[in-house]
Amino acid sequence: QLGTLLRPGAAYDVMVTHPRTGALRRVAVTPEGLALAVRGLLYEPQLAVGLPYAVSEASVGRFGPLVTMASLLVDAVSESQTLGLMLSVVCSEDLPRIEASAAMQADATAGLAGAALLRQMRAACAAWQPRCADDATPLPASAMSAPDVPLLLLSGERDPVTPSRHADAVVRARGGVSVVMPGLGHFVARHGCGPALLGMFFDDPRRAANKLDCGLTTAMPAFTLSPVGAVAPASLSQPAPEVSP
């Protein structure tokens, strides 16, 4: 069903109900936009579970669930992300590395969502134009060495963008503590014991280091295949966070 929706040349002019105002609005849905919406929703397991139902509905012309889910995600990211800061990093670090490597460009554009994301990145960076240091050479790992500065890294077990192995590499290079939250994706700090753990870390890093097993258990919801919810309950809880000292 998703493959059919993403077929080249497809276009959908749909009427959907705004999830907050209840007003009807016309939305032009393209394969690229649809691919980016699905990619974004996969960042958040609590939303990703609704994708099978939303895609099934969209395949018969009912785009409401998918557009609503995507709108909720966009609103949440807009309220928590500093766009200027993100573009300053992406445009000065990520995009130059991609443009300098044919292999990275091929990998980035292998899928429909990747190709669309790279085009968006190029357009945004052309408009943002951050000032870059004269020497853009990445710092060696030894430059991060500051063992006297406490470091806490939170990762989601299912994060497709910044997996926990990245945090582990930082810990190996300069010390610190890496905590992997089971069942979570890219957004970690606001789930389970994340807020309390961050609060403790800022108040007293040594105290927080003793509370890393703060009892987080996350039950991965079952995939939603109907508007009334999951077809089967998620009865198994995940273990406590995995901690790497």
pLDDT score of 125 more than 90: yes
Q: Which residue has the higher pLDDT, 76 or 151?
A: 151
User: What Cα–Cα distance (Å) separates residue 55 from each residue in 41, 43, 69, 87, 222?
Assistant: 12, 16, 11, 30, 16
Q: State the pLDDT at residue 214.
A: 58
**What pTM does this model have?**
0.67
Could you report the per-residue pLDDT of 37-81, keeping only the tens digit for each? 888 888 777 788 889 999 999 998 888 888 888 888 877 777 777
pLDDT-derived band of residue 127, with 50, 70 and 90 as boundaries? very high
What are residue 178's phi and psi, to 5 degrees?
A: -110, 130
User: DSSP character for 223?
Assistant: P
Could you report the per-residue pLDDT of 157-191, keeping only the tens digit for each? 878 778 889 899 888 888 888 888 887 778 787 77
Q: What residue ranges in 74-228 does DSSP mark as E strands?
A: 152-156, 177-181, 224-226
Q: State the pLDDT at residue 137.
A: 58
Alpha helix positions (H), 81-141:
83-89, 95-99, 102-108, 112-128
What contacts 26, CB < 8 A, 6 or more positions away? Answer: 13, 14, 15
Residues 12-35, mean pLDDT to the nearest whole number: 84
Q: State the pLDDT at residue 124.
A: 93
Please count the other Cβ atoms lying within 10 Å of the Cβ belonging to residue 40. Answer: 19
Could you report the per-residue pLDDT of 178-228, keeping only the tens digit for each? 888 887 778 787 777 788 888 888 888 876 666 566 545 555 667 777 766
What are residue 7's phi and psi, to 5 degrees?
A: -60, 140
Measure the CA–CA gap between 179 and 158, rounded to whole angstroms.
13
pLDDT score of 240 more than 60: no
pLDDT score of 85 more than 60: yes
- From the list 184, 208, 207, the residue with the least C-alpha distance to 197 is 208
- From the list 70, 60, 57, the residue with the least C-alpha distance to 27 is 70
Token pair recorded at residue 103: 């292999």
Token pair recorded at residue 18: 């705004």
pLDDT score of 237 more than 50: no
